[in-house]
Chain A
Amino acid sequence: MLVLVLDTATPAVTAALAEVQSSGHAVLAQRATVDGRAHGELLAPQIDALLAEAGVKPRDLAAVVAGVGPGPFTGLRVGLVTAASLTMALNIPAYGVCALDALGLRTAGRALVATDARRREVYWAVYADGSPLTGPAVDKPADVAPRLAEFAVTAAVGEGAAKYADVLGLPAGAALYPEPSAIVELAAQRVRDGAPSEPLTPLYLRRPDAVEPSARKPALSASER
């Protein structure tokens, strides 16, 4: 079954075409462009090029697997709304995968996955032989560091781990962004089973910035009052 893989939870704007078989799966073609500010411009042409290159029509797709974050909101939404509209139009199921889980899948032992959450924070979770030990969270690297000893973490991957390696006190591995092969692997069983389509709910982990207005400011100057 042909599956389109989309991930925009990191600056790597990623699209891939994968084949999910009864046992196993293979990525047939993939494109990733690292540009944290152009998800909206890059993603659709990449999908278009990917399908054209593979000689695949959109209607040949059996499912879309999308990274649901956590990640910077604006870019993350581009991937999710694209996946949602594609699957709606093609009447095929959508499946969500946590972007941190995709990075964590290829780690061994106790490992930290940390991506860049901007505002000097990281999205992070701890993995044990590829399986999550903690849920995704967003924190300052200095607040993540003390938790690592608690979990006996010895390795770290992800752009956030690389950026804040000093503060985290762990050398960062080479993997910076989620790989399409890992994303599709995490959803492969759902694809095979023809599991029900999932609402692609973004993992924002932060509330919107919004402040309720304070009391009215006086319009009359002090001398006029």
Chain B
Amino acid sequence: MSTSEPLVLGIESSCDETGVGIVRGHTLLADALASSVDEHARFGGVVPEVASRAHLQALVPTLHRALDEAGVTLADIDAIAVTAGPGLAGALLVGVAGAKGLALATEKPIYGVNHLAAHVAVDTLEHGPLPEPAIALLVSGGHSSLLRVDDLARGVTPLGATIDDAAGEAFDKVARLLGMPFPGGPPIDRAARDGDPLAITFPRGLTGPKDLVEHRFDFSFSGLKTAVARWVEARERSGEPVPVNDVAASFQNAVCDVLTRKAIDACRTQGIETLVIGGGVAANSRLKAMAAERAAQYGITVRVPRPKLCTDNGAMVAALGAHLVAAGNAPSKLDFAADSAMPLTLVGV
């Protein structure tokens, strides 16, 4: 196998996306995806058993699509990577067991990897090797984390995380409140384009002087969500129309303000010049614009992969797998478990 440019197949099944990606080193060859998002929409959130059932159905067809797209066969693959955690336990297990089956059949090494580290690694497919150290902001419906990356092959250092709702969850809940579909990120982003981000001042969680001592790099979005709900309700009760676009823009502005403020603060206090943003919320147009604008003031480079690579996919898992192979990491043993609470300090199992 080529250790500098290994051909790696990655499988992702930690939430509602069944992803199979194939990379050669930092080059993306295929990124096949099957999503069960529509099956969850009427429940307002991902239903774990529905997601697990969908993964089982989708895995083999998605594998075929990825191999066709990349124009390679399983025999050509150097290693198989799979998300071992964190995520929904039953959903993870489908990907992990499927990957083990592939590894057994092909007699190839298998790497059980950390989903969050994979969100960082995927950027290498778009922008090449990641300068280290770097700060990573990972924001999605399932996670909101600020990390320091010194050596991605050995693990990352958590700086902070949400203490209640994930950023994406806040988008979903506010969208529902405003009568928009699930997932809430895209419709809020669209509505916000025609709204005034300064129309309503919503709270910025964990940014007060006292919070900055204990929770400098942590997030809280639960209070913001409640504040939006109270504001909307008070409007409805007074009989006035709800200015949906202004609410969406002001809410989005509050989320992005806190996220970028804390991410830039982490870069500055640690003397780090690279900020990489990943996760579904990284697709938000306001977040990208605000991060770029604020980072530029301090000479910080912001790297955000294209939206399809920000949301959960198999390419990110393959990218991390390729990074670990190139770094000479040992593969996982066949008895590794899917770990729904896999710590960030573990890049692989």
Contact = CB atoms under 8 A, between A and B. Distances in A.
A74 B94 CA distance: 8
Contact of A81 (B97, B103, B176): B97
Contacts, number: 127
Instruction: Name the residue in B43, B50, B74, B101 with the highest tally of chain A Cβ atoms < 10 Å from its Cβ.
Output: B101
B63 interface: yes
Chain B at the A interface: mostly helix, strand, loop or mixed?
helix
Contacts of A86: 101-102, 104-105
B210 interface: no
A40 B337 contact: yes
Given A41-B337, A73-B49, A218 B233 contact: yes
Given A48-B334, A216-B177, A40 B230 contact: no
Nearest to B93: A40
Contacts of B337: 38, 40-41
B98 A82 contact: yes
Given A41-B337, A83-B101, A89-B101, A220 B56 contact: no
B43 A58 contact: no
A208 interface: yes
B80 to A, nearest CB: 10
Contacts of A45: 333-335
B34 interface: no
A212 B105 contact: no
B94 A81 contact: yes
A81 B104 contact: no
Nearest to B231: A219
Interface residues of B, number: 45
A210 B106 contact: no
Interface in B1-46: 42-44
A55 interface: no
Interface string A32-68: 0000001111111101100000000110000000000
A213 interface: yes
B233 A84 contact: no
Nearest to A79: B97
A204 B60 CA distance: 19
B101 A82 contact: yes
Contacts of B104: 44, 47-48, 58, 82, 86
B335 A41 contact: yes
A58 B98 contact: no
B155 to A, nearest CB: 22
A74 B56 contact: no
A219 B226 contact: yes
Contacts of B99: 85
B96 interface: yes
B237 A225 contact: yes
Contacts of A85: 59-60, 63, 97-102, 105
Contacts of B98: 81-82, 84-85
26 contacts: A41-B337, A44-B100, A44-B334, A47-B104, A48-B334, A58-B106, A74-B93, A78-B97, A81-B59, A82-B97, A84-B59, A84-B98, A85-B99, A85-B100, A85-B102, A89-B105, A202-B53, A208-B50, A210-B43, A210-B49, A219-B226, A219-B229, A219-B233, A220-B230, A220-B237, A224-B230
Interface of B: 42-44, 47, 49-50, 52-53, 55-56, 59-60, 63-64, 74, 89-90, 93-94, 96-107, 176-177, 226, 229-230, 233-234, 237, 333-338
